[in-house]
Amino acid sequence: MTDEHTPPPAGAATAGASPSSPSNGSGAAPSSVANAPAADLEARHAELSDAFLRAKAEAENTRRRAEEEVAKARKYAVEAFAENLLPVKDSLEAAIAIPSATPEQLLEGVHATLRQLSAALVRNKVLEINPAPATKFDPHQHQAISVVPAPQEPNTIVAVLQKGYLIADRVLRPALVTVSASS
């Protein structure tokens, strides 16, 4: 005689058990069957964690390399410009080294050196602002030094006192000009 409330012994089949109960056919305990998906999940988690850490490290390396390139670009940005100015310096030193040069020779050398300097500036996108007379005054590129009466349209340039310069499209120095007065 068995008590209905007493649990059956371990491993014994119960009368109400269905034939489709989980079993892997190898006699493995049901807990190992339940652990198999957990083990798969843990392996997948480890794999994704590793991929995440590798991607994070790659992103950090890319960021660091980009910062280094920007720092080098800032540090050596003037290198090409300086390289273009060296022949100008060489020409000036050569002119000073000739103590017996005639004024004509010096003037010719100064003109040649000015051409070298102008070419170096143009190669580095430093352009002159030298407006022609009667050009409309542009406060973004010109600085009015004085306003003078002139027989031309008001608010136009009468004379350029000092050239201005642009670097790329930015004003490095505005042209100093006199402007015609309004009547």
Compute and round to an integer the Cα radius of gyration of the chain: 43
Tell me: the pLDDT tens digits for 102-124? 999 999 999 999 999 999 999 99
The answer to whether 157 touches 174, Cβ cutoff 8 Å, is no
Tell me: the pLDDT tens digits for 126-174? 999 999 999 999 999 999 999 999 899 999 999 999 999 999 889 999 9
Helix (H, G, I), strand (E, B) or coil at 145: strand
Mean pLDDT (whole number) for 45-65:
96
- Determine the angle formed by the axes of helices 103-123 and 79-96, rounding to 10 degrees: 180
Tokens standing for residue 81: 């410009």
Rounding to the nearest 10 degrees, give the CA dihedral for residues 85, 91, 92, 95: 180
Percent of the chain residues topping a pLDDT of 90: 65
**Rounded Cα gap, residues 46 and 27, in angstroms:** 30
* Beta bridge partner(s), residue 170: 167
Does the pLDDT at position 86 exceed 50?
yes
Tallying the residues shown for the chain, one arrives at 183
Does the pLDDT at position 22 exceed 60?
no
DSSP codes, 128-141? EE-PPTTPBP-TTT
Does the pLDDT at position 18 exceed 50?
no
